[in-house]
Structure 1
Amino acid sequence: MQLCKTPTEVVQHIHSHQRVFVHGSAATPSTLLAALLDRGGEITGVELVAISTFGAIDWNRAKVREHFFMNSLFVSANVREWVDTKDGDYVPVFLSEIPALFRKGAMPIDVALLQVSPPDKHGYCSLGTSIDAALAAAYSADVVLAQINPKMPRTHGDGHIHTSRITAAIELDTDLPEVRYGAEADERTEKIGRYVAELIEDGSTLQMGIGAIPDAVLRHLGSHKGLGIHTEMFSDGVIPLVEKGVVTNEFKKVEPGKILTTFVIGTRKVYDFVDDNPIVSFRDVSMVNDTAVIRKNPKVVAINSALQLDLTGQVCADSLGTYQFSGIGGQMDFMRGASLSEGGKPIIAMPSVTKKGISRIVGTLADGAGVVTTRGHVHWVVTEYGVANLYGKGLQERAKGLIQIAAPEHREGLERQFYQRFTRGS
């Protein structure tokens, strides 16, 4: 490993027309990425591949957009507008399948840009907060460049990389990005959290998506017993349940006694919690999100959200019409895994309306919207107005149930759409 003095020196190892994987979430190597983008014009035709990046990215300038192409596997807020221009794109793919894109050569990686912990006495660095597909990228790439950060936790599991694998690196002591999902809570999310918590039985194994609703659910599980965690990600909300003895992981079949995850994002509290903590196991996302693995656990409860849901139960979770907003991620991995689990419950939990008061439950999805989770996979839907069980229900019965948990001010319009759709020819 070549230890460099400046970020610019590190990224000199990247050349024109290469594909560069950028480590994501809390592990986003922001300093190295900024130094790379500053080379626009000096190098050209560079494709950036990332799942979800955090931090400020100064992309909206000519020398970046002319010479770099952002090809996102899950669109985050800081690159959303970039992806939705001619200088970017989005790859629809299940989170569980991304490592295979790299390993099997469907999307070969030339360079992996990582943020890691300092090496231990054996020379191994940790990928820290984000193993996900970064592990596959790190071992598939010809060149590995690293930002070594003493504030990156050392995590147990798969995410270790020896310094001999790293081409060049720089040591930088910088704070990891923090997100406080609990701060986004309001009366609606608390009601949703209570409804979802009532569906969760003792001994269940939980998967939580990102955002205020999963944190709200966790706040209402204080009286539960013997819960386990098998999830692609978690945040601060899990910690109090571990401390109270609610999360014991004793009934899980996959790595019993351990929280199984592939990345974390939250505040420094969760980064400190996972640091050298043997009860938290970080594994490659191809294993964590494999439906055949998920279903081995009892009573898997998958809690995910939606941007729109139509009256038949189709879920759009990645786009606003044709505008690419996020990505498929692991929603389908866990919705299917939960439905196959003995006693499992796949749940879509969402506010009934957007911040602008537009109904999320609609007669038909917006023109151009992508279906992430099909109506055949959706069982439970929860809003602040209640719970609808769609499993085994016909289209008309589903629609009636969903109208009942829509915002009251939108129910009349939805009933008209129901009438127009289902009473033709009568």
Structure 2
Amino acid sequence: MSYKEKVISLEQALAMIQSDMNVVTGLGAGEAQLIMNSIHTIADRVKNVTITNCLSMASGEFLKEEYVDAFNIDGWFFSPPLRRAFKNGNVSFIPNHLHLAGWKRLDHVKPDIFVGTASMPDEHGFISLSTSNTYESQMIENAGIVILEINPNYPRTFGDVEIHYTDIDYFIEADYKVPSLPDTIPNEKDLKIGAYIADLIHDGDTLQLGIGGIPNAVASALKGKKDLGIHTEMMTSGMVDLIECGAVTGKKKTLHKGKHVATFALGNQKLYDFINNNPSVMILNGKYVNDPAVIGLNDNMVSINTALEVDLTGQVCSESIGHIQFSGTGGQSDTAVGAQNAKNGRSFIALYSTAMVKNPVTGEREEKSKIVPFLKPGAIVTLSRNDVDMVVTEYGIAHLRGTNVRERIERLIAIAHPDFRDEILKEAHELGLIFDK
């Protein structure tokens, strides 16, 4: 069957979705935008359709309360639309380490339909999964039906994302722009944290960076370095800046030398233009890229992640506010542990020392410490205290590797906001976390 014979309309694709089916879509920009933005239109004829997504970029019309009987939504990583819809009762989170997300889910349930995105076929009939292969190729191999929205705006990437069109059931021809994330301009706190971390990154190190003000500040502070490498979960716009200024070359990498390795890309148009037809960029399966054992094969590996709060023993919560799911584990544990498996590897957890939190009684916002004697009741431990290396705030770095609890308390209080240090120490004594001799 030719490629053209596999092209169907959006309406034909939606007609394939029936009650009680499991539908999986791609991560971030790899999400099937046409289908996900229109799937609510079939709510009058289906019930109990389960949609599984990750870092959804769609409008979320199907998440409205009026469609709760038609759709259930399971998320590997909550984005704002899922957070807002959680109270409707049909949204749930899938606990996961990113490198295991795909195959563990498949061990539980196989998708009836996978819907994703792809670049246009080349002269040999190969399409590219483009911006993500975190779990997408695993789902394609196991789904009953595979539908890809093929789009001339999507970059053609290399790695293990190339699939011949004959291995895909159906295509929808689309022409929307690749979903993007706006660049976050680092603030004063971000720049201080970025400078602390940059001081401990050496020429020739290999990096994993996330997105946001702090990672962007780190990237900006690294522009004077030489021969850095990239082995990261997420390819970001800031990484392109480091490559273009010559700070990142990949020449010193011990794994995939000279290649910029990621499992998905999400950022601005400059990023998508850079990865298009670029053989130096490898988009590889998340089960490989984020495997801590694989990450550890990169000598001088550095992992940089952010957190919501850290307790005095080193437990890191990065995905919930108390018991309420906010985002997800993602690759934080994968990359933090993987970096420490590496020769000369280092792992950073970065956060502001305080946050403005609404008082439930007065409704007023109050400044609260994010270095705390204990995590909020019900808070999810994203990174075990056994796996924490260094914690960074705008007040410095707490080196926790190999330290005892007393040392951790002292070092973490030292990087807490000065206004809260005495209070935190007092509470640590009252809780019996520490005693004076």
- State the TM bucket, normalised to the shorter chain: over 0.9
Paired letter, 1:48: I
CA contact (8 A) 2:119 2:156 kept: yes
State the SS of the aligned residue for 1:367: coil
Match of 1:264 in 2: 265
- Counterpart residue identity of residue 263, structure 1: F
Q: Secondary structure at the match of 1:237?
A: helix
1:76 lines up with 2:86 in the alignment = no
CA contact under 8 A between 2:205 and 2:228: conserved in structure 1?
A: yes
Q: How does 1:156-167 map to 2 (within 5 A)?
A: 156-167=158-169
Aligned ranges 1:8-23 → 2 under 5 Å: 8-23=11-26
Paired AA for residue 218 in structure 1 = A
SS in 2 for 1:98: helix
Secondary structure in structure 2 of the residue aligned to 1:74 = coil
Q: Match for 2:109: what amino acid?
A: M
Seen in structure 2, the aligned counterparts of structure 1 residues 310 and 85 have a Cα distance that, compared at 3 Å, is farther
The equivalent residue for 1:282 is 283
More off after superposition, 247-256 vs 352-361: 352-361
8 A Cα contact 2:64 2:85, kept in partner: no
2:395 corresponding residue in structure 1: 385
Match of 1:31 in 2: 34
Which residue in the other structure is 2:7 paired with?
A: 3
- Whole-angstrom distance in 2 between the partners of 1:3 and 1:222: 45
Counterpart CA distance in 2 for 1:268 and 1:55 is 18
Between the aligned partners of 1:123 and 1:37, the Cα distance in structure 2 is 33
Report the more deviating stretch, 270-279 or 152-161.
Answer: 152-161
* Structure-2-length-normalised TM-score: 0.93
Contact 2:37 2:59 in 1 (8 A): no
Q: CA deviation at 1:291?
A: 1.2
Instruction: Give the counterpart letter for 2:6 in structure 1.
Output: Q
CA deviation map 1:188-216 (0-9, x unaligned): 11111111101111111101123221111
The farther-off stretch of 120-129 and 326-335 is 120-129
Q: Could you tell me which runs of 5 or more consecutive residues in structure 1 were left unpaired when the two chains were aligned.
A: none
Matched, 1:234 2:238: no
Q: In the TM superposition, what is the alpha-carbon distance from 1:141 to its structure 2 partner?
A: 0.6
Which residue, out of 401, 405, 412, partners 1:395? 405
Aligned partners of 1:231 and 1:260 also within 8 Å: yes
**Residue equivalent to 2:303:** 302
- Give the structure 1 partner of residue 328 of structure 2: 327
Distance 1:16 1:397, change over 3 A: same
- Which stretch of structure 1 is more off in the superposition, 192-201 or 34-43? 34-43
Equivalent residues, number? 423
Give the Å deviation of 1:3: 1.5
State the shift of 1:63 in Å: 4.2
Task: Decide whether the 8 Å contact of 2:114 with 2:145 is kept in 1.
Answer: yes
Q: Is the 8 A contact 1:227 1:246 kept in 2?
A: yes
Question: Is the Cα–Cα contact under 8 Å of residues 406 and 434 in structure 2 kept in the other structure?
Answer: no
Q: Does residue 1:134 correspond to 2:136, yes or no?
A: yes
Q: Do residues 367 (structure 1) and 377 (structure 2) align? A: yes
The residue that corresponds to 1:121 in the other structure is 123
Equivalences for residues 168-183 of structure 1 within 5 A = 168-183=170-185
- Looking at structure 2, the residues matched to 114 and 336 of structure 1 have their Cα atoms a distance apart, in angstroms, of 30
CA distance in 1, matches of 2:241, 2:26: 28
The letter of the residue matching 1:380 is: M
The alpha-carbon deviation at position 323 of structure 1 amounts to 0.7
Q: Which moved more, 1:126-135 or 1:157-166?
A: 157-166
Alpha-carbon distance in 1 for matches of 2:96, 2:397: 29
Relative to structure 2, which stretch is displaced further, 271-280 or 164-173? 164-173
3-state SS of 1:26 partner = helix
Partner of 1:45: 48
Q: State the superposition RMSD in angstroms.
A: 1.6
**Within 5 A, what are the aligned runs for 1:144-163?**
144-163=146-165
Correspondence 1:248 to 2:249: yes
C-alpha deviation, 1:318, in angstroms: 1.1
Answering whether residue 114 of structure 2 is matched by residue 112 of structure 1, we say yes
> Does 1:90 find its partner at 2:100?
no
One-letter amino acid matched to 2:308: L
Written as runs of structure 1 = structure 2, the 5 A alignment for 1:156-235 is 156-183=158-185, 185-235=186-236
Q: CA separation in 2, counterparts of 1:85 and 1:367?
A: 23
Moved more, 341-350 or 166-175: 166-175
Partners of 1:360 and 1:327 lie apart in 2 by 18
SS in 2 for 1:42: coil
- 1:32 Cα deviation after fit: 0.9
Helix, strand or coil for the counterpart of 2:184? helix
Residue pair 1:4, 1:170 contacting (<8 A) in 2 also: yes
Q: What SS does the corresponding residue of 1:393 show, helix, strand or coil? A: coil
Q: CA deviation at 1:281?
A: 0.4
Cα distance in 2 for residues equivalent to 1:352 and 1:56: 33
Once the two structures are aligned, what percentage of the paired residues are identical?
Answer: 35
Q: CA deviation at 1:91?
A: 1.1
Following superposition, the deviation at residue 262 of structure 1 comes to 0.6
Q: Match of 1:411?
A: 421
Residues 102 and 109 in structure 1, CA contact (< 8 A), matched pair in contact too: no
CA contact (8 A) 1:112 1:141 kept: yes
Say if 1:17 and 1:46, in contact at 8 Å, map to a contact too.
Answer: yes
CA distance in 1, matches of 2:13, 2:228: 45
